[in-house]
């Protein structure tokens, strides 16, 4: 199944969807609007012809304060159809939030928690959104470009071995 066929099927299934093809990434996919993410994901999973039954990963990207946005990249796979698809969603950097896809793919649970932990992106409707890798009392979100490194954590000096 080709990307154009997937797009046509989605657009026929739900009125008012806006999908823009992404050609600069592999596997190819779509840029989708945040308020349409759940609708599109449900259609991709529940449609017998498409049946994207697996969420491989969710990645977050901070585009920087000058840009004002962060991106989420969803990697989907249809095991039975043997095809991959990428969805990109842009969220506001000042108040980054989007609906959780956990009701569609349970595998989203830890991916969403990691994006929250490191980028501060809130996933509305997530049943247990809390830090997953950093301690609960960690200050800030360390993969954001404007993150200010802590000098001490519980009296322990934090050192970073990297060049600026």
What are the pLDDT digits (tens) for 4-62?
888 888 888 777 788 888 877 777 899 999 999 999 999 999 998 899 999 999 999 99
Rounded to 5 degrees, φ, ψ at 92 are -65, 130
Percent of the chain with pLDDT over 90: 65
pLDDT confidence of residue 130: 95
Write out the H or E segment, with its range, that includes residue 83.
strand 83-92
* Residues 93, 63: Cα–Cα separation, whole Å: 9
pLDDT confidence of residue 61: 96
C-alpha separations of 164 from 45, 117, 160, 161 in Å? 43, 23, 10, 10
Closest CA to 11 of 51, 40, 46: 40
Mean pLDDT in residue range 107-117: 98
Quote the pTM value: 0.88
């Amino acid at each position: 199944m080709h990307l154009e066929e997937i797009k046509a099927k989605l657009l026929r299934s739900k009125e008012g969807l806006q999908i823009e093809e992404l050609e600069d990434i592999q596997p190819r996919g779509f840029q989708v609007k945040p308020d349409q993410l759940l609708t599109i994901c449900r259609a991709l999973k529940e449609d017998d012809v498409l049946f994207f039954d697996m969420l491989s990963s969710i990645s977050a990207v901070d585009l920087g304060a000058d840009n004002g946005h962060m991106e989420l990249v969803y990697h989907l796979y249809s095991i039975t159809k043997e095809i991959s698809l990428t969805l990109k969603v842009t969220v506001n950097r000042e108040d980054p939030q989007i609906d959780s896809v956990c009701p569609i793919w349970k595998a989203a649970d830890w991916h969403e928690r990691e994006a929250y932990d490191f980028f501060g992106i809130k996933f509305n409707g997530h049943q247990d959104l809390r830090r997953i890798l950093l301690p609960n009392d960690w200050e800030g979100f360390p993969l954001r470009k404007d993150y200010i490194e802590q000098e001490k954590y519980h009296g322990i000096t934090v050192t970073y071995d990297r060049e600026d």
